[in-house]
Amino acid sequence: QRAGIRLEGRHYHVTAGDFNLDGHMDLYVVVQTAFNEPRKNDIMLLNQKNGKFKVAGKHGTESPFKFEDGNTAIALDYNEDGRMDMLVGPRNATWRLYENQTPYFGNDFVIVLV
């Protein structure tokens, strides 16, 4: 509550990453719905750099399927471009890979290959 996060409903999984390239860790919350309920979109919380988070508007991972149960999400940079991409997997539908296309605003990053 101190961070300004007020989410209603059931939430199954959270992953963190700097999704908007501002140098601060954001959160992606998977919203769980029952199989017979219409799908609710997952929630992206953007770090406001003051200990609080703000719910992002349209963030590009909205589900195309009406009945789908949110299950998990993984933040990763699959194409090694310095931007956190998202792998989203429901229990009853196909996993989807979303490529982060946030424009660079002169932000620097380091890629470490292990």
What single-letter DSSP state applies at residue 78?
T
The single residue listed with the structure tokens 């310095």 is 82
> For residue 30, is pLDDT > 60?
yes
CB atoms closer than 10 angstroms to residue 51: 9
Query: Model-level pTM greater than 0.75?
Result: yes
Contacts 24+ apart (CB under 8 A), 77-80: 77/111, 80/111, 80/113
CB atoms closer than 10 angstroms to residue 53: 20
Q: Is residue 48 part of a domain?
A: yes
Q: What is the pLDDT of residues 35-51, one digit of tens each?
A: 677 777 788 899 999 88
pLDDT confidence tier of residue 11, bands split at 50, 70 and 90: low
d(CA 91, CA 108): 36
Q: Is residue 105 part of a domain?
A: no
For residue 27, give its domain range: 10-98
Q: Is residue 106 part of a domain?
A: no
Number of domain units in the chain: 1
Q: Is residue 111 part of a domain?
A: no
Q: Is residue 92 part of a domain?
A: yes
